[in-house]
A and B are shown apart, each in its own frame.
Chain A
Amino acid sequence: MATAPTVATAQRSDRIDPTVYHIKKGGQGSALDIRDFNLWYGENQALYDNTIDVQKGMVTALIGPSGCGKSTLLRSLNRMNDLVDGLRISGQVMVDGFDIYGPGVDVIALRKRMGMVFQKPNPFAMSIYDNVTYPLRVDGVTKKSILDETVERALRSAALWDEAKDRLHTSALGMSGGQQQRLCIARGIASDPEVLLMDEPCSALDPIATAKIENLIADLRGQYTIVIVTHSMSQAARVSDNTAFMYLGRIVEYGDTGTVFTNPKVPRTNDYVTGRFG
């Protein structure tokens, strides 16, 4: 795992420039439209005026030094941050024209529309089959044919079918770390969500497992909208269409990946992607 750049030397008093945008449009409109989003953990503000337009069917990478708020932003998208005491937000996150933080939003229904993959694989202590079907079962689906079909589809999409098809009913905890992470991806896409949120999905994996997951992301592109947080510059460059560079809770630059990595518009982005600060 690459060591994350730190922000030890950064100052809050740095001059604040507005975000620079130059994104590649997917042509299907936006899946998530984050507007002027601010977030506070108690007294501490973690996100400042984040405005991002996540393109449908494309892979969007969030990069930035440790502690800059990537996970916070990602977890705001399916309201996982609701679990934190003393959380406050302002601004909007629009999905299909409605604000997920608006009044009367069904958080559970919202989460069902978004799969999430975490940094550390977190399969449940159940069989592989039960893990993959969990999102459906909590939804009340009991029909065996549907579950069977979902398991095969999800595991195939997660490139795990061949390895897992003979041991579907054994414990998921008996799998290797890389297999577990692909299982979590399978679980994330089992209920056929619109968006897949991934928070450093490869940080606990070796290069081969990482390569498999990157291939998988490439395969899923187009089918799902993917937002991925990563510390690996090369990974972001390889898998994503658009990249947002975050710094101290702000979006510094949000543009198409090629440009962000080869010809960034903001000097600080350049410093970061070339590894000059941190």
Chain B
Amino acid sequence: MTVTNQHDLPASGAAGLAGVAAREATKGRRVRRFSADLSAVGEPALWAFGGALALGIILIAGFLAMIAWNGFTTFWPKPIEKVELVDGELIAGVPTRGGAYRPGDSTLAQLDDDTRARIAENEGFASRTLYQTANFDLYGDDFRWVSDFEIAGITTPEDFHYIERQQWGVFIGRITGLEVDGQPVEVTQDRLQREQRDARARFNEIRRLERRDIGGINHLIERERLAMRRAVIRHGEDSAQAQATIAEGTARIEELQAEFAELQARVNDIRAEDRRTRITFEEVNGQQVETELSQVVRFFPANALSLPDKVGIYLSRWWEFVSAEPREANTQGGVLPAIFGTVAMTLLMVIFVAPFGVITALYLREYAKQGRLTSIVRISVNNLAGVPSIVYGVFGLGFFAYAMGGTIDQLFYPEALPNPTFGKGGILWASLTLALLTVPVVIVASEEALQAVPRSMREGSLACGASKWQTIRYIVLPKAMPGIMTGMILAMARGAGEVAPLMLVGVVKLAPALPIDGFAPFIHLDRSFMHLGFHIFDVGFQSRNSEAGIPMVFVTTVLLLTLIITMNATAIYVRNRLKRKYASGEF
């Protein structure tokens, strides 16, 4: 377009309009009035659609913000309040949440007139606060509601410590005594810290010896025992082979038992030493508790912390959370086994679902004759995605665990029977079940991706003398790979967050060992495992003390979301790299 044109256009347009207006005017009074139906003004549904979208986004954002807020604040150290009640009782605890409630008649009857009048004024409501009083070993409860009208005074004493213990949960109180090597020493923060670090090192040493070394020996003894049994089952009790194996096995077991005794002695030594370093706490009402210092996981004077101290505690709690094993019925400690189980199961699932889904899609799209039967198969596959996931769990338990696993046990692990090896839930069956659950997603996405590969490319390849398989392998699959990956990502996202079927096929509250460890064959697909999704359910609703579990629910949820997002982001990154590699330059 030339400059003159640009200049001309609006001018002539305006002139034209003016002309029309003039003509209209000269026609007299019957100027046509333009009016529009309301539904023709603008986009009638725009507000509804926009509003629905905005509402959806706000809900999701609010939901994520709520989880993130709860999850990220849980580990922040909070102050301890020492509360004196009107009846003289003392309570020390961390206020966790509060709210209004309506005291019952019997409670009201015990109150003095003033308070009762105030509550009546407030339409019968009073407010209260939930204190984490801890000290479960002394009081049999971790939490306590305190109504505002019960409180006579609140102080925040600086010498009160928040002490996280290996057993019995948290202790709230003062540290009154420290005994190192049987000798009482002066209690100073420095000394405490140093001695606690040493004590924890001892504790971890004991644990390592027991878990890894002694556990390993137990494992080997068990293996010898099974080998002996296997020889008996296979060759008969009196056969020469069986006798040889038994002789050999017995000798080996004796050797192992000697090793075992040696290790046990070492553990006992360390234990004895450990018992000589002790700490004494005193709770707010003066009751004292004495224990090994190594039982103390973490302690801090909650009311005397500087900001860097708090940050340090916050980070150390997060670190423990993601790197340690759970304690206290999962409500404390870490979730490393659950993280591990979730990731391992998801990856295994992808390993199963990827080839299975892609091969099915390849067959349906590239090889099968496109007829009615193919359509029926395709529709059935699509509908599989709508089957409730628990149904897959039932199928997994019945078919994989009992039928297939039972057969495997009979054929390959008869020596362990009646204890099932594969004939129960385990990570293999769980990931197979989830693979089955997610395979429709992969098939549908892969089929679409394959279909989208232009015909001209296939023809180009065939014309070069490539076989059908070569064409698929070198031209079609690479081109379809980003689309296939998208399907895989969707499947992964669905599989990683699925819990219901897993409860039937291998997820447990507390797994004694990880599915991957240092003992041959290193990957133990028969083992049951922990899963973050199930952990959330368990910690929040199945534990001794759900009040203590609820904050962990949010933390675990944050972690699960982070994990899924990370896995998906990685997959999306890989896919985009593939996409760039095969970027199509349309002209």
- What are the interface flags for A174-188 relative to B under an 8 Å C-beta threshold, 1 for contact and 0 otherwise? 111100100010011
Stretch at the interface among B59-67, B316-324, B412-420, B455-463: B455-463
Known: A122-B454, A176-B587. A138 touches B467 (CB 8 A): yes
Interface residues of A in 52-79 (CB under 8 A from B): 78
A134 with B474: in contact, given A111-B463, A116-B463, A191-B465 (CB under 8 Å)? yes
* Inter-subunit contact A108/B467 (CB<8 Å): yes
**Which of B456, B478, B582, B585 is the most central at the interface, judged by chain A CB atoms within 10 Å of its CB?**
B585
B21 proximal to A (CB < 8 A) = no
C-alpha spacing A174/B584, complex, angstroms: 8
Other-chain contact of A112, B457, B460, B461, B465 (Cβ < 8 Å): B465
Q: Is B466 close to A, CB under 8 A?
A: yes
Closest to A119 in B: B456
**How far apart are A227's CB and chain B's nearest CB, in angstroms?**
13
Nearest Cβ on chain B to A130's Cβ, whole angstroms: 9
Q: Which residues of A contact B229 (CB under 8 A)?
A: none
The residue of chain B having its C-beta at the shortest distance from the C-beta of A111 within the complex is B465
**Bound complex: CA A111 to CA B460 (Å):** 11
- Is B460's CB under 8 angstroms from A118's CB? yes
State A112–B463 Cα separation when bound (angstroms): 8
Interface residue SS majority, chain B: helix
Q: When A138-B470, A173-B583, A174-B585 are in contact, do A118 and B465 touch as well, CB less than 8 Å?
A: no
Asked whether A125 lies within 8 Å of B478 as measured between CB atoms, the reply is yes
Say yes or no for B161: interface residue by CB 8 A criterion: no
- Inter-subunit contact A78/B463 (CB<8 Å): yes
B457 with A124: CB separation less than 8 A: yes
Which residues of the other chain, A, contact B474 by a CB distance below 8 angstroms? 124, 134, 138
Of chain A, the residue at the smallest CB distance from B466 is A138
Determine the distance from Cα of A122 to Cα of B459 in the docked complex, in whole angstroms: 9
CB < 8 Å neighbour of B465 from A83, A108, A123, A125: A108
From residue A128, how far is it (CB to closest CB) to chain B in Å? 12
* A120 is an interface residue with CB less than 8 A from chain B: yes
Minimum distance in angstroms from B450 CB to a CB of chain A: 15
Chain B nearest CB, measured from A152 CB (Å): 19
Contact A125 B463 (CB under 8 A): no
The 8 A CB mask of B83-117 against A (1 = contact, 0 = none) is: 00000000000000000000000000000000000
Q: How many residues of B contact A (CB 8 A)?
A: 22
Question: Is there a chain A Cβ closer than 8 Å to B464's Cβ?
Answer: yes
User: Which of B460, B466, B478, B583 has the most chain A CB within a 10 Å cutoff?
Assistant: B460
**In the assembled complex, B297 has its CB within 8 A of some CB on chain A:** no
Query: Which residues in A have their C-beta under 8 angstroms from that of B459?
Result: 80, 83, 118, 122
A126-140 contact mask (Cβ, 8 Å, vs B): 1 or 0: 000000001100110
Determine if A177 and B587 form an interchain contact, defined as CB atoms under 8 angstroms apart: yes
Q: Which residue of A lies closest to B460 (CB)?
A: A122
Q: Is A208 an interface residue (CB 8 A)?
A: no
What residues of chain B lie closer than 8 Å to A122, measured between beta carbons?
454, 456-457, 459-460
A187 near B464: Cβ-Cβ < 8 Å: yes
Q: Which residues of B lie under 8 Å from residue A176 when comparing CB positions?
A: 587
Distance of B329 from chain A, by nearest CB (Å): 55
Please give me the residue from chain A that is nearest to B580 by CB atom. A171
Set of chain B residues within 8 Å of A134, measured between Cβ atoms? 461, 464, 466, 474
A255 within 8 A of B: no
* Chain A residues with CB under 8 A of B584: 125, 173
Which single residue of chain B is at the shortest CB-CB distance from A116? B463
Please give, as numbers and ranges, the residues of chain A lying within 8 Å of B462 by CB-CB distance: 80, 83, 111
Let me know if B424 is at the binding interface, CB within 8 A: no
Q: Does B510 contact A (CB under 8 A)?
A: no
- On chain A, the residues within 8 Å of B582 by CB distance are 125
Nearest B residue to A180 via CB reads B587
Are B456 and A120 in touch, CB under 8 angstroms?
yes
Q: Is A109 an interface residue (CB 8 A)?
A: yes
A115 at interface by CB-CB < 8 Å: yes
Task: Report if B364 contacts A (CB, 8 A).
Answer: no
Mark B449-486 against chain A: 1 for CB-CB distance below 8 A, else 0.
Answer: 00000101101111111110010001100110000000
Nearest 7 A/B pairs, CB to CB? A112-B465, A173-B585, A116-B463, A122-B456, A135-B464, A138-B466, A122-B460
- List 13 A–B pairs whose Cβ atoms lie within 8 Å, in order of A's numbering: A80-B459, A80-B463, A111-B463, A114-B463, A122-B456, A124-B457, A125-B583, A125-B584, A134-B466, A138-B474, A176-B587, A180-B587, A191-B464
Question: What residues of chain B have their CB less than 8 Å away from a CB belonging to chain A?
Answer: 454, 456-457, 459-467, 470, 474-475, 478-479, 582-585, 587
Q: Apart from A111-B465, A120-B456, A173-B583, list 9 A-B contacts with CB within 8 A.
A: A108-B465, A108-B467, A111-B463, A138-B465, A138-B466, A171-B583, A174-B585, A177-B587, A188-B463
